[in-house]
Amino acid sequence: MARVPLIGEERSDLAPFITRVKKERGKLINLYRVLMNSPAIAAGWLDFNSVVRYKTTLDPALREMIILRVSILNGAEYQARIHGASHALEAGLTREQIEALGDWVKSDLFSKPQRAALAWTDAMTQQINVPDTLHNELQRHFDDQAVVEITVLAGAYNMHTRVARALRIESEIPGKA
């Protein structure tokens, strides 16, 4: 159970925002129902994360790999369920790749560019300070714009996972990720 109330359709003062969330996310998900306890935070979150998810040059499959990897590392069932159940498959990941993300280092299902991005994501999430060797490897496969987009995406989903865990936001999607 979430640590703060889930705000719903009853808040007529939030109707324009709720309509926007439904349009952009398909429905009013629990994350936004919690964030609407602070309307300014909810609006800023939606603006920022809409750019991070939909207005970058990153391959959608790589984007979902990064999101899922951060979710796995941070034990964030909320994001893992949402992204593993639909977004990752829609982006072109296979079920085998999704399952292999838990121990991607031992898997042969990922390309060299994907492996570089996953190593970068792991370091950002687990160590914070990313070694130059990982930066050098990432730059072998991605231009500066993509390096920034990968970094901000991983950072944004570290924020997502930490907020969801701290506020105990539950997924709307039943079952296992």
Per-residue pLDDT tens listing for the chain (177 residues):
899 999 988 899 999 999 999 998 888 999 999 999 999 999 999 999 999 988 999 999 999 999 999 999 998 776 777 766 678 899 999 999 999 999 999 999 999 999 999 999 999 999 989 999 999 999 999 999 999 999 999 999 999 999 998 999 887 765 543
Q: Which residue has the tokens 């590392």?
A: 73
- Following DSSP, what letter does each residue of 48-116 receive, concatenated? HHHHHHHSSSS-HHHHHHHHHHHHHHTT-HHHHHHIIIIIHHHTT--HHHHHHGGGGGG-SSS-HHHHH
Owning domain of residue 40: 12-54
Instruction: Give the whole-angstrom CA distance, residue 122 versus residue 127.
Output: 8
pLDDT at 177: 39
Domain end point (choices 20, 36, 54): 54
Domain count, the chain: 2
**Residue 118, domain CATH:** 1.20.1290.10
Same domain for 135 and 49?
A: no
Q: Are residue 50 and residue 68 in the same domain, yes or no?
A: no
What integer pLDDT is reported at residue 75 of this predicted model? 87
Structure tokens at 124: 């950002």
Question: Is residue 116 domain-shared with residue 35, that is, in the same domain?
Answer: no
Contact 70, 121 (CB under 8 A): yes
Separation CA 60–CA 91 (nearest Å): 5
Query: 69 and 156, same structural domain?
Result: yes
Task: Supply the pTM of this predicted model.
Answer: 0.91
Per-residue pLDDT, 105: 97
Nearest 5 degrees, angle CA 111-CA 115-CA 119?
A: 175
